Amino acid sequence: MLLNELTIKEAREKLDTFQISALELTNACLEAIKKRNQELNAVLEICSKEAILEAKQADKKLKQGLRGPLLGIPYLAKDILMTKEVKTTAASKILINYVAPYDATVIKKLKEAGAILLGKTNLDEFAHGASTENSAFGVTKNPHNESRVAGGSSGGSAAAVAANFCLFSLGTDTGGSIRQPASFCGVVGFKPSYGRVSRFGLLSMTSSTDVIGPITKNVEDAALVFEVIQGLDQHDATSLEVKETENFTGLSGLKIALPREYFSQLKNEGVKKILEKAVEKLKQAGAVVQEVSLPNSRFGIPVYYIITPSEISSNLARFDGIAWGEGSKEAQNLHDFYFKTRGEGFGAETKRRIMLGTYALSAGYFDSYYQKAQAVRSLIIEDFRLVFQDYDFILGPTTPHEAFKIGAQTNDPLAMYLEDIFVTGASLAGLPAISIPGADSEELPIGLQLIGQKFQDQKLLALAEALQKILI
């Protein structure tokens, strides 16, 4: 087995007992990136020199007897998280040469924990998309089948873990962007509860749903990374410290809800089969699995595609080419400079979302679009609350089908939006959710999604780990 194929837990044991060094582990990852990244395009920027230096420091600490869950563990971060030493482009032409003045809080925490940053991963421009086809630097290919997409927007992060470029990666999830690519690439993708992980240093997209989370090879590793990155941060007013009081006590007697709206929309036989198998296994283990209704879940996508563009049109107003980022070279006056900088710097989907949001927020339309969407969002949140009065968790598919072919949906933005049909709900309600690989994956992987109660992230991870064990 190659070192880069190890899980965090496996590598931890070998590092702590000096069977391997952090430098060997880092070199194995860098080698894997060198070998296959040209075809996959999962990594946009590699920082070998810094990584090797950090690995040597980690080895020194290990020899001194220091220990920690991520000490000496190499990882990759989505290129929308600010990093001091490496460029942060958000896969946009407008930030093509941008170097952040400070590290995002998650990057800082990982650095303090001794994790080794290998580089930055590809994404849909500013995380706008579900296939990484919206990246200004080219699409990321699915490691399981290179004619297929890796999903998005954290497609580079998911593909990198699936291709063993790193031991884990960081992604961001605004309406499914960690879970959907994890499903397509056959890895674990965890979106924590809104507020549990600081977003300081994450380029804002939709401030009311943006969350940072880990993409890993198994659930146990996701829990290890989450433990390090979570917590209150004075720089993010929405972050908070949560002490979870409810523990996971095993599958027996657990009440799991199956939203019938998720099933009635499933046409793909493979996805159905994987879900049925999971239900059967859970029942065998003593869990109670019952059908429930989330009557307003059908409004998830329409709500999401009003609220998200609205927040984007506001958040992306800061990109004016002045003080940072790429500015137009041709403009003569300030007015012209703004228009040219933004017109040339943003890609098609980003412009589409900015305009949609500008329209939804403009005078005369605010009530009928934005206010209405926020009201329906309340109904969606209430649906979840009611289900969680009687159930511990919600189980469903992550994606309606396996990874689609590159180019298959690029001409129809609406079809692309519908890719997120099962994942937007948890985002709009701020709930923790995880995608784990379903068993029986024939050629292309498909994920199962578990949604937990707000702030019960560790409990959700414990259930996901138990489910992963019985699915094998």
Partner 1 sequence: MLTSEEIFHIAQLAKLEISEAEAEKYSRELSAILSYVEQLDQADISSVNQETRTLDSENVLREDEVKVWDQEERESALRQGEICDGLVKVKKVL
- Residue 177 is a catalytic residue: yes
Residue 19 to residue 11: CA distance in whole angstroms: 9
400 with 265: CB under 8 angstroms?
Answer: yes
The one among 237, 286, 293, 405 contacting partner 1 by CB under 8 A: 237
Work out whether 344 is an interface residue with partner 1 (CB under 8 A): yes
Contacts of partner 1 in 131-170 (CB under 8 A): none
Residue 263 within binding range of partner 1, rule CB under 8 A: no
Q: Does 342 bind partner 1 (CB under 8 A)?
A: yes
Helix 348-361 crosses helix 300-315 at what angle (to 10 degrees)? 100
Residue 386 as a binder of partner 1 (CB under 8 A): the answer is no
Q: Is 52 or 99 the residue whose CB approaches partner 1 more closely?
A: 99
The single residue among 246, 362, 407, 440 that binds partner 1, judged by CB under 8 A, is: 362
Number of alpha carbons in the 13 Å side-chain half-sphere of residue 185: 38
CB of 132 to partner 1, least distance (A): 20
* One character per residue 6-45, x = contact with partner 1 (rule: CB under 8 A): ----------------------------------------
**Between 263 and 324, CB nearer to partner 1:** 324
User: How far is it, in rounded angstroms, from Cα 281 to Cα 43?
Assistant: 37
Angle at Cα 90 formed by Cα 85 and Cα 91, nearest 5°? 110
Question: Which of 291, 333, 364, 472 is the binder for partner 1 (CB under 8 A)?
Answer: 333
Between 65 and 364, whose beta carbon lies closer to partner 1? 364
Using the rule CB under 8 A, give the single segment among 131-139, 293-301, 399-407, 434-442 that binds partner 1.
293-301
Which stretch in 138-146, 275-283, 364-372, 443-451 sits in contact with partner 1 by CB under 8 A? Answer: 364-372
> Catalytic annotation on 78?
yes
Is 362 one of the catalytic residues? no
Applying CB under 8 A, among 249, 343, 390, 407 the residue interacting with partner 1 is 343
φ, ψ dihedrals at 223, nearest 5°: -65, -40
Among residues 153, 154, 157, 239, the one annotated as catalytic is 153
Catalytic residues: 78, 153, 177
Residues forming contacts to partner 1 in the complex (CB under 8 A) are 98-99, 101-102, 194-195, 208, 234, 237-238, 240, 296, 298-299, 301-303, 305-306, 313, 317, 320, 322-325, 331-334, 336-340, 342-344, 346, 351-352, 354-356, 358-359, 362, 369, 371-379, 381, 385, 413-414, 417, 429-430, 454
